[in-house]
Amino acid sequence: MLFTIVRRGPLGLSELAALEAMNPTMVSRIVVQLGELGLIKRESQAADRRAATVTATATGRRVREHVHRERSRALGEHVQELSDGEREALLAALPALEHLVELVGERPR
C-alpha cells in the first residue's frame, strides 16, 4: 500500500481501497498503522471531514526507495544465475513486460 501511495498519491481512502482491491475498513486500519510509523500523512478534506487524503512522508518515500533498491539488487543476483539464453529471452521480453506494467497501472484492480 505504501508503494501505491508513493506512486499515485495523494489519494482518497476510497480510491486507495479500489486501487488495492481491498475492503475500505482494512485500508483504514492499514492507513492508521502506516501513519503511526510515520510513513504516510492522513489529512481530512475541508469539504467533508469524514473523507481523508493520504500522502507519503519523506520517511515513507525513503522506505519505499530502500525496499525498491533491495528488490532490484536481489533480482539482479538471481538474473546472474540464469543461462545466457535465458537472460537474452528475458531481455527480449522487456518491451512486453513494460507494456504490461503500463496497462496494470492504468486500471484499478
Provide the 3-class DSSP secondary structure of residue 37.
coil
Structure confidence by residue, pLDDT tens digits, 49-96: 678 899 999 999 999 999 999 999 999 999 999 999 999 999 999 999
pTM of the entire predicted model = 0.73
Tell whether 103 is covered by a domain: no
In the predicted structure, residue 18 carries a pLDDT above the cut 60: yes
Give domain status of residue 30, yes or no: yes
49 DSSP assignment: T
The position carrying cell 476510497 is: 14
Range of the domain at 77: 2-82
Per the DSSP assignment, residues forming a β-bridge with 42 are: 54
The pLDDT value given to residue 101: 86
Is 88 inside a domain boundary? no
Total domain count, the chain: 1
How far out from the chain centre does Cα 33 lie?
16
Q: What is the per-residue pLDDT for 8?
A: 92
Per-residue pLDDT, 108:
54
CATH number at residue 9: 1.10.10.10
